[in-house]
Amino acid sequence: MVRLVLPHRVPLSPLEPRACTALAVCHKEAETTWERPTSAPGTPKSPISQMNSLPTVNGFHSSGSLSHHLETSHMALRKTSSDPQSPGVGSPTRRQNKESTITINCVTFPHPDTMPEQQLLKRDDWSYCDYFWADKKEPQSNSTIAGFDIILVKQLKGKQMQKEMAEFIRERIKIEEDYAKNLAKLSQSPLAGLEEGTLGESWTQVKKSLADEAEVHLKFSSKLQSEVEKPLLSFRENFKKDMKKFDHHISDLRKQLSARYAAVEKARKALAERQKDLEFKTQQLENKSTYKTEEDIKKARRKSTQAGDDLTRCVDLYNQTQSKWFEEMVTTTLELERLEVERIEMIRQHLCQYTQLRHETDMFNQSTIEPVDKLLRKVDPNSDRELWVKEQKTGHIRPVDMEL
């Protein structure tokens, strides 16, 4: 399986105590004042020209089609989320304040409004690895299906098609066998077996030619079996097992991502509470300053700093998991893409073998008539009569008049 060389990722800078104070004081505008992480799994550093490399520069698709695309994802998300407050797969949350990212089904995408440039990993290739990042809402049910699962379904269907083609060839083989059996049987018929002479020889050959035709069709059917049906059936015998492995691998990563996302949301809430408490205690201090209050503020600031550190760790873990999922998505979908190309080539090759065998069958069939034509050209009523008269004649002496 193709392994991807993933770019080195710049780690998030850990929060300093005073930074935490700042956070504590002005956490409302925190998102705008902080320095954002520059790199993301979707914006790798090394180019993809072959299957196992990634592009340097960010490409950019017309933001129109882009925002449209995100819009549909968003719609799907809106419909599926029964309770926008509770995070997790199937009921994702979206943070509405002016951020540059948007999280759908626990996967974080760049925000449509502040879209960074993105170049396709494999430009002009319509590669699986470029078009299945979002989940898709199922037509009737409220659930969504992962982009990766759509590719898996395609693979399993392909395997099924190949199996059905083998079945079809099997049916054709049966038809040829029956046809050959009937021709061989008829060629043994005694009908007109008593015809004599050159005509008799021609007729015998007509009958024999049916046995030859039968041979040709039997050969066709047995070659169909060994050169078309069997290869189609035996190609990738434990394919479904392999697909299951891919499926489990990727969906496990998605589950892990959901768990990490839930942890981030929890840490975010906790930090918010700590910050509220610190603010309240700081206001108390302005009214009447006592030693007791000073202590409370110190304590609240420590707890707030701790909550900040927790959130930072959770976000870092989440990003690591998402990055791992991204990596596996690219390598696995590229592998599935390779397998599909292989399948189509294999089937094409064996259908060509089928037409080749059909062609040969017609050619061989031609040759079964030639000896008949040859003998028919030799048919001669006079020599047939000579043959028959020689063995059947009763007497050539003609009668004469009787005498007195």
Tell me which residues in 119-158 interact with a second copy (CB under 8 A): 120-121, 125-128, 130-136, 147, 150, 154, 157
Query: Cα 393 from chain centroid?
Result: 84
CA atoms within 13 A on the CB side of 113: 7
Question: The tokens 């018929």 sit on which residue?
Answer: 189
**Sign (positive or negative) of CA dihedral 247, 133, 320, 86:** negative
In the complex, least distance from residue 327 CB atom to a second copy, rounded to whole angstroms: 11
222: closest CA among 167, 183, 185, 169?
Answer: 169
The answer to whether residue 281 forms part of the interface with a second copy (CB under 8 A) is no
Bridge-based pairing state of the strands 136-137 and 107-110: unpaired
**Cα–Cα distance, 165 to 155 (Å, whole number):** 16
- The binding track of 151-190 with respect to a second copy, each residue x by CB under 8 A or -, is ---x--x---xx-xx-xx--xx--x--xx--xx--x--x-
**Cα–Cα distance, 37 to 41 (Å, whole number):** 11
Backbone angles phi, psi at 259, to 5 degrees: -60, -45
The answer to whether residue 113 forms part of the interface with a second copy (CB under 8 A) is no
Taking CA atoms, 353 is separated from 106, 344, 372, in Å, by: 49, 14, 30
The answer to whether residue 116 forms part of the interface with a second copy (CB under 8 A) is yes
Instruction: Rule CB under 8 A: choose which of 48, 93, 203, 220 binds a second copy.
Output: 203
- The binding track of 10-29 with respect to a second copy, each residue x by CB under 8 A or -, is --x-----------------
In the complex, least distance from residue 289 CB atom to a second copy, rounded to whole angstroms: 33
Type of residue found at 34: W
**294 vs 362 by CB, closer to a second copy:** 362
* Stretch 210-229 residues interacting with a second copy (CB under 8 A): 210
277: closest CA among 27, 74, 45?
Answer: 27
**How wide is the angle at C-alpha 207 spanned by C-alphas 206 and 211, nearest 5°?**
115
**276 vs 298 by CB, closer to a second copy:** 276
Which span (77-85, 86-94, 192-200, 237-245) binds a second copy, by CB under 8 A? 192-200
Burial 144-154 (b: 16+ CB within 10 A, else e): bebbbbebbee
**CB–CB of 105/322 below 8 Å?**
no
**281 vs 315 by CB, closer to a second copy:** 315
The answer to whether residue 117 forms part of the interface with a second copy (CB under 8 A) is no
**279 vs 360 by CB, closer to a second copy:** 360
Instruction: Rule CB under 8 A: choose which of 8, 28, 288, 393 binds a second copy.
Output: 393
The answer to whether residue 246 forms part of the interface with a second copy (CB under 8 A) is no
* Stretch 347-376 residues interacting with a second copy (CB under 8 A): 347-348, 351-352, 354-355, 358-359, 362-363, 365-366, 369, 372-373, 376
Q: At what angle do helices 291-377 and 147-187 cross, to 10 degrees?
A: 20
In the complex, least distance from residue 397 CB atom to a second copy, rounded to whole angstroms: 5
**Sign (positive or negative) of CA dihedral 251, 252, 257, 263:** positive
In the complex, least distance from residue 85 CB atom to a second copy, rounded to whole angstroms: 18
Instruction: Rule CB under 8 A: choose which of 89, 107, 152, 334 binds a second copy.
Output: 107
- The binding track of 39-78 with respect to a second copy, each residue x by CB under 8 A or -, is xxxxx-----------------x----x--xx--x-----
**CB–CB of 144/137 below 8 Å?**
yes
**Cα–Cα distance, 35 to 186 (Å, whole number):** 90
* Stretch 292-351 residues interacting with a second copy (CB under 8 A): 311-312, 315, 318-319, 322-323, 325-326, 337, 340-341, 344-345, 347-348, 351
The answer to whether residue 231 forms part of the interface with a second copy (CB under 8 A) is no
